[in-house]
Structure 1
Amino acid sequence: MAVNVQSEQKYWDALKEVMDPEFPISVVDMGLIYDIKEQADTIQVTMTFTAVGCACTEWIKGDIEKRLLEERNVHAVDIHVVWDPPWTVDRMTEEGRQKMRTWGVSSR
């Protein structure tokens, strides 16, 4: 089955509206989202968190699910959390790094 990259891009764009609760940076710019796939009416998200003990995991997952369910023809969201590869600041987008620098938080 061919991947509809243009279709999946709208889900990446949608998740740029979901903010990390600790910093006002999207989960996309934080580098937490590893992959998004569209399977019929279900969106499959592969993601990670900054730490295994992150207290905001359920909150972030709920925000991701809620936002994606707002998209047309999306009836389910399947979120798969992985720890390999682990999250590092290298996964952040340049926009995310710039926002961190603006707040005085080093991101290399």
Structure 2
Amino acid sequence: MPEQTAQQKPRVTTEQVIEALREVYDPEIPVNIYDLGLVYDVQVDDNNRVYVAMTLTFPGCGMGPYIAQQAEWRIAEIEGVEDVQVELVWDPPWTPDMIRPEGKKLLGLEE
């Protein structure tokens, strides 16, 4: 990795993006979109451009544009982010099996 100069912005990490996504909630479910399993892919390129592929609990969810916009705004607040693209995808369809362990704890679904 090239040395960082004073003029370069800090490198944005996938972990930073995930933490930002953990601040975004589906208004109908008390679990963030990451732990709910709605985030399928997070990519950060060498120019600090962020791409997120996410879904919703069901395709007709009227809150979809709102949730995606909230995700974009949270990610854009990360120091160094140059661009954000959040894409809603429907394949594979979301199922409750996709809820991450932390989300299951929050929902009282621990195994």
Q: TM-score, normalised by structure 1?
A: 0.83
**Offset of 1:74 from its aligned partner?**
0.9
For 2:76 and 2:57, how far apart are their aligned partners in 1? 24
| Paired letter, 2:79 | R
| Paired letter, 1:60 | I
Q: 1:107 to 1:88 in 2, by over 3 A?
A: farther
1:85 lines up with 2:82 in the alignment? no
Query: Which deviations, in whole Å up to 9, do the C-alpha atoms of 1:51-87 show, x marking residues without a partner?
Result: 1100100110111011000001113211122111110
For 2:21 and 2:70, how far apart are their aligned partners in 1? 9
**Offset of 1:107 from its aligned partner?**
8.3
Runs of 4+ in 1 over 6 A off after TM superposition: none
RMSD between superposed Cα atoms in Å: 1.8
Gaps of 5+ in 2: 1-11
CA contact 2:68–2:88 (8 Å) conserved in 1: no
- Answer 1 or 2: which has greater helix percent: 1
For 1:75 and 1:22, how far apart are their aligned partners in 2? 31
**Identity of counterpart residues, as a percentage?**
35
